[in-house]
Amino acid sequence: MRIAHFSDLHYGAATLEEADRCFGAAVDRAIAERVEAAILSGDATDHGLDLHEPATLKLLAQVRRLADHCPVLMLQGTFSHEPPGTLSVFRLLGARHPVHVADRIEQVALTREGFWQASSSWRFEDVPMGARLLLSCVPTINKAVVAATVGAVDAPQAVGEHLALLLAGFAPTNRRAKAQGTPTVAVSHGTVFGSLSEHGVPMAGFDHEFSTGVLFSAETQAVMLGHIHRHQSWEQNGPAGRQCIAYAGSIGRFHFGEEGEKGFLLWEVSADAGACMLVPTPARRTIDIVFEGQPDLEALREAIASHGVEGAHVRVRWTVADEDRHAVDRAAISRLLAGAAQAKLEGRIVPVVRTRAPGISQLGTLADKVRRWAELTGVEPACVLKCLEALSEEGPTEIVEHLLQSIGMRALVKEYASTCARVFV
């Protein structure tokens, strides 16, 4: 069976242009490829949306277009992106084919008549008659509920243990489906231990939901995942046949620094094997230009010529000391990036750190305090002490006269001294 797997569409006000352009192109391609079913593995929205919002209307239109071509299953994603109940409206689309919303742990069969049939409990005891496809659905797990039940300290381990038991529990039904020649698929939204984020960072921690071994234990030919925005996959051959686990990744590029191509997965799933291919979408191009100090305009010109920023989304970042912050010519940088679709300038200011000299307040004279300060800061105290002596022994007129004489401006001494005297008096 040919299945289109989309994930992490993240429709929202700020992401609408990127999300709709990429998802629209993906739906076009899926229809052209004559897919027999479509699966959205979570985070269709970027946050809770009102029904009248442009992002909601655009998403509904694209899913309706997809459902006019084939049956669609939508999985509940991360609660912060897709608050519970957000997907309920998709059940009411009234397209040519049904849209099933999997917002609980369940198994769902796609019948030969093109309808979705959900299990009454968490799994089927027997494969439904006439099933063309059997899906085991594990939406986002509410870790807060688990934490409240088993205690916050034990929650991460408890989630992993329960998911391992759950996925292994799907295996008997999936084995029966395989024996009948019915393709099997697991769909979930979460983090695989050791997977890579969209920024190339390995996901390692005790709070991740899955290991590849746990996912393979469900004995499905395909495991379609959402949540991580980078496409990646794992395969194994064993008693359950050729199994493949894969993240589709996000449909578009929503942040700077994201690595890899964006797209959706075109799956071929049989009772014995699962395989997928990434189909790229027209995701925006992002470029990061980073300076360790003040931006060098000549180096920036070279980087622009090298990358070709026309139509790209460009971020220029730099780090400068607090006293140099005003030396950065933001206007000049913006002019150089005039051809970019977006120019984002991010300056990091390193604050001046002032440290109190221990014991300085206990010293008796100002001269002693100056010597202590000079010792701690590595400054030669002689010049400072000479100025301090002048301040204590001479008046303003004498100080100004000495300064002017030292730079060869004797002709101005009387006039300037008279002015200073009036000011200080």
Three-state secondary structure readout of 255-283:
CCCCCCCCEEEEEEECCCEEEEEEEECCC
Q: Is the pLDDT assigned to residue 416 strictly greater than 70?
A: no
Instruction: Give the residue-averaged pLDDT of 40-62.
Output: 94
Shared-domain flag, residues 212 and 336:
no
Query: What confidence score (pLDDT) does residue 424 get?
Result: 43
- Residue 208 domain-assigned (yes or no): yes
C-alpha to C-alpha distance for 250 and 42, rounded to whole angstroms: 10
Query: Cα dihedral sign for 39, 45, 51, 53?
Result: negative
Instruction: Give the residue-averaged pLDDT of 270-296.
Output: 94
Q: Average pLDDT, whole number, for the chain?
A: 88
Give the residues across from 225 on adjacent strands.
188, 247
User: How many domains, the chain?
Assistant: 3
CATH number of the domain at 256, please. Answer: 3.60.21.10
Q: Residue 278 contacts by C-beta under 8 Å, 6 or more apart in sequence? A: 231, 248, 249, 261, 263, 264, 265
Among residues 170, 40, 36, which one has the least CA distance to residue 100? 40
The listed range with the strongest mean pLDDT (77-86, 271-280, 311-320, 363-372) is 271-280
375 versus 419: the higher-pLDDT residue is 375
Model confidence at 279, pLDDT cuts 50, 70, 90, reads very high
Shared-domain flag, residues 94 and 138:
yes
Q: How distant, in Å, are the alpha carbons of 155, 213, 256 from that of 296?
A: 50, 50, 21
Q: Which of 330, 350, 370 is the last residue of a domain?
A: 350
Shared-domain flag, residues 321 and 404:
no
| Containing structural domain, residue 158 | 2-280
Q: Is the pLDDT assigned to residue 149 strictly greater than 70?
A: no
* Residue range 355-382, pLDDT digits in tens: 666 677 777 788 888 888 788 777 788 8
Shared-domain flag, residues 78 and 126:
yes
For 139-221, strand residue ranges (E) read 184-189
Eight-class DSSP state of 379:
-
Shared-domain flag, residues 126 and 272:
yes
- Residue 402 domain-assigned (yes or no): yes
- Residue 425 domain-assigned (yes or no): no
Shared-domain flag, residues 374 and 328:
no
- Tell me the pTM: 0.79
* Residue range 187-214, pLDDT digits in tens: 999 999 999 999 888 887 655 678 999 9
Query: What confidence score (pLDDT) does residue 370 get?
Result: 81
Q: Residue 195 contacts by C-beta under 8 Å, 6 or more apart in sequence? A: 202, 203, 228, 230, 232, 247
Q: Which of 262, 280, 298 is the last residue of a domain?
A: 280
Shared-domain flag, residues 115 and 233:
yes
Q: How distant, in Å, are the alpha carbons of 63, 142, 229, 269 from that of 133?
A: 20, 27, 26, 9
Q: How distant, in Å, are the alpha carbons of 107, 109, 170, 238 from that of 124?
A: 6, 9, 9, 24
- Residue 423 domain-assigned (yes or no): no
Shared-domain flag, residues 218 and 334:
no
Shared-domain flag, residues 15 and 106:
yes
Give the other-Cβ count within 10 Å of 104's Cβ. Answer: 12
Query: What confidence score (pLDDT) does residue 414 get?
Result: 55
C-alpha to C-alpha distance for 318 and 328, rounded to whole angstroms: 9
C-alpha to C-alpha distance for 152 and 148, rounded to whole angstroms: 7
Among residues 372, 368, 344, which one has the least CA distance to residue 357? 372
Eight-class DSSP state of 393:
H
Query: What confidence score (pLDDT) does residue 423 get?
Result: 42
Give the residues across from 184 on adjacent strands.
134
C-alpha to C-alpha distance for 320 and 337, rounded to whole angstroms: 21
Residue in this structure with the two tokens 């742990």, named with its chain if needed: 105
- Residue 32 domain-assigned (yes or no): yes
- Residue 232 domain-assigned (yes or no): yes
Task: Note every long-range contact of 194-199, with CB atoms under 8 Å and residues 24 or more positions apart, other chains counting.
Answer: 195/228, 195/230, 195/232, 195/247, 196/228, 196/230, 196/232, 197/228, 197/229, 197/230, 198/228, 198/229, 198/230, 198/249, 198/250, 198/255, 198/257, 198/258, 198/259, 198/260, 199/257, 199/258, 199/259
**Are 220 and 238 a contacting pair, CB within 8 Å?**
no
Residue 195 has phi, psi (to 5 degrees) of: -70, 165
32 versus 305: the higher-pLDDT residue is 32
- Residue 304 domain-assigned (yes or no): yes
Shared-domain flag, residues 346 and 387:
no
Among residues 189, 181, 254, which one has the least CA distance to residue 215? 189
Query: What confidence score (pLDDT) does residue 72 get?
Result: 98
**Are 231 and 246 a contacting pair, CB within 8 Å?**
yes
**Are 334 and 346 a contacting pair, CB within 8 Å?**
no
Shared-domain flag, residues 85 and 185:
yes
- Residue 424 domain-assigned (yes or no): no
Q: Which of 259, 280, 301 is the last residue of a domain?
A: 280
Eight-class DSSP state of 120:
S
Shared-domain flag, residues 294 and 160:
no
C-alpha to C-alpha distance for 224 and 39, rounded to whole angstroms: 8
Give the residues across from 345 on adjacent strands.
316
